Structure 1
Amino acid sequence: MNENILGIIAGILTSASMVPQLVKVLKEKNVEDLSWVMLLVLISGVSLWVWYGIMKEEWPIILSNAFSVLLNSTLLVCYFIYKK
């Protein structure tokens, strides 16, 4: 298997792992079980992966982690919108 294909599949699976959480938050408008600190740390980490991917010119790293930044940033915004 081509290593880029493997990287893209791995990136899709790991990035998509937060989609069910986002759907649940948007549906229920409940963020009690979310930690904003965890989201902030995760966003920082995947942002650094994007930067690393740019430096290495590795599109699987860039795209999957950019998607993860977008997804987790949306969760963080939802946290502050829906927190009680």
Structure 2
Amino acid sequence: MSLLANIVGTGAALCSMTSFGPQIVKIWRERDASSVSLRMYVVTVTGFSLWIAYGVLIQSWPVIGSNVVCLLMSATILVLKWRFEKGDMPGAEGPASRP
């Protein structure tokens, strides 16, 4: 593999892995995940799981490693979505409590 390919791959992996950080910090600080799309993160978590399986099948540790980190971070957002959903918090008016 060429040096350029390694540089591009490393840059792509770092961007992917760090892209979830700001969303996690925002949700945690505001204790609000109502603007996060549940469907999008379910698909994202599924996609990273499939990338990990692909990495295992082709025995590519860089693919496995970067996607494990991305899976953990996107799964964290999914858990925070369930935990801090405004409509699900005690005392909060949500869609389920409306007539």
Gaps of 5+ in 2: 87-99
Gaps of 5+ in 1: none
**Residue 32 of structure 1, CA deviation:** 1.4
Cα distance in 2, alignment partners of residues 49 and 5 from structure 1: 20
Pick the structure with more helix per residue. Answer: 1
1:46-83 CA distance string (max 9 Å, x none)? 11001101111111111111111100111111011101
Alignment correspondent of 1:72: 74
- Higher relative contact order at CA 8 Å, sep ≥6: structure 1 or structure 2? 1
Q: Max radius of gyration: which structure?
A: 2
Moved over 4 A (4+): none
Task: Give TM-score, length-normalised by structure 1.
Answer: 0.90
Alignment correspondent of 1:38: 40
Alignment correspondent of 1:12: 14
- What is the CA RMSD across the aligned residues, in angstroms? 1.3
